Amino acid sequence: GCVLVVSVIEQLAQWHNSTVKAAMERLCDYIPGKYQIMGHMLCCIDREMNADVVCHSLRLCKQDPGQLLCHLYSPPKKEKHSSGLFHALAHTRSKRQIRSKSFLGFSSVCAFPLLANLCEKIKYVLRNKLPFEDFDGDKFSTFPTLRGYHWRGRDCNDKNTTVYPGRRPDNWDAKSDSNCNGIWGVDPKDGIPYEEKFCKGADSKGVVLLGDSAGAHFHIPPEWMTVTQMSAKSFFNLPMAFSDELDWPQFSEITGFLNSTIGGWTDSLYLRLRKRNRCNHRDLQNISQNGGLSGERAPYLSFSLARNQLLDNPAIVIYATIGNDVCNGERDTLAHMTTPKEMLSNVVQALRYLDSHLPNGSHVILTGLVDGRFLWDNLHDRYHPLGQLNKDVTYSQLYTFLDCLQVSPCSGWLTPNETLRNLTSERALQLSNVLKEIARSEKFANFDIFYMDFPLRQTAEEWRKMGGEPWQLIEPVDGFHPNQIAAALGTGIIWQRALHEWPQVLGKANPFNDQIEAIFKDQGGH
């Protein structure tokens, strides 16, 4: 974090030909007030020192005896290896040791008083995967972030626990909208409730995603660290992004419903189901977790899933942990990967829980793991946003830096070690085969079950046909996650697969969709 912030400040000074102090003031002008926490670094930044030297001089990182100093940039020119960094640090610390102590008390951003309250809220939603603002306790909210309606269908009455998206209508919603799909009341022409007229027998169903950071749609805006594009407008979404855990589920492949503001376009399984049957409005849940593993699914399903077996509509559940069972930042990464035996146990346990809670007629789609060799193959020699100004940081350098710090999102794939990359993909394939066998052999009372490979190869092919290149499908800042374009293209591939092979999953098209929309338009769109 320190290296990121110091790099941006030093590059701002370079780009605007200003002092470091002026660059700091410029950045603070860009950033919303309570997030201006970098001032404590000002005393320690020098345009003649690179960000690695500055941040090591602050002693923010633990260093084991004999361990090389982690660095993002090439070491200072005196020597082209880490001892050059040692030399620069020895020179720097003698001058700055006392002044840097003022920063040590704030080594966690949550220690800053203005951010402490937000951090507590975020910790709550991380623990529970539930909306922070939910007055009636039905697991749905009228507040967008902090696991609110960006993640689940928007509640239409947060004072009544029996009113929420996805339930079967109460008395055909003749008097009120019990399922929040906007369809309620009685047609004055014939006295038949609108919900009964338009949605009875329409095979309504919701969509639930059990995913990881890819499913939650993790994204750090590149304009936050690209000084040539930086302005106050670049940071307008910073508060929302933090309170959504740097995830953007409202634009995601499975549960997206808003027009994308982070590039590309929004296309999602939810939007296509809603277009197919307008009665499905708001029936979505994104129960994804950054860093989520297969072994964590069953425990947090027990308090995060909102589905009543007796009162609610069936659901399509997408089970998609596409990488974390083989991805970790450990030194001996292979030893910390999920084994096929563990995968079988973890997934079957989660499916048994779903069978006891999903309404009859539901469906589950298991998604295979990705082949992450795609990342290194397409990015390693390209420049990261931090390196574009001076052509001094490639993705290979970023991956090595994160691995050295033991915070790599995937030591097995984000590495120059081709053998390790191949072994990681081999384990991913083994785990995908476990999922495939579960779909083939396991039977459940309340849902049928299907398997599909993660459609990365098909997505890249589609993008090439549109004139794009494969690297443009990857998040530019982390160099790891599928981006907005990949998400939108992936939706079309999943949909076509379902239409041709599992039409029962999607349900039939509602012939009354046009009439529903016409009535909405007549009533002002409410």
Instruction: Pull the structure tokens for residue 464.
Output: 């090439």
The Cα diameter of the chain in Å comes to: 87
Neighbours of 228 (CB within 10 A): 11
CA dist., res. 494 & res. 482, Å (int): 15
DSSP letters along 438-491, please? HHHH---SSEEEEEE---HHHHHHHHHHTT--GGGGB-TTTSSSB-HHHHHHHH
Residue among 100, 204, 213, 288 flagged as catalytic:
213
- φ, ψ dihedrals at 229, nearest 5°: -115, 0
* DSSP structural state of residue 314: -
Instruction: Pull the structure tokens for residue 436.
Output: 């495939």
The burial class, CB within 10 Å (0-12 / 13-18 / 19+), for 117 is exposed
Q: Which helix (H) or strand (E) holds 317?
A: strand 315-320
> Residue 174 in 3-state DSSP?
coil
- Compute the CA torsion angle 285, 291, 297, 303 (nearest 10 deg): -60
Strand ranges for 137-288 from DSSP E: 206-211, 284-286
With CA atoms as reference, report the closest residue to 516 among 158, 204, 156, 142: 204
CA dist., res. 27 & res. 20, Å (int): 10
CA dist., res. 241 & res. 514, Å (int): 36
> Residue 247 in 3-state DSSP?
strand
Q: How many degrees, rounded to 5, is the angle at CA 477 between CA 472 and CA 478?
A: 95
Angle between helical axes of 340-357 and 418-441 (0-180°, round to 10): 40
Give the chain's length: 526
Neighbours of 470 (CB within 10 A): 19
Identity of residue 226: T
* 451, β-bridge pairs: 366
End-to-end CA distance of the chain: 44
Instruction: Pull the structure tokens for residue 302.
Output: 């027990």
Identity of residue 38: M
82 is catalytic: no
**Residues with catalytic annotation?**
213
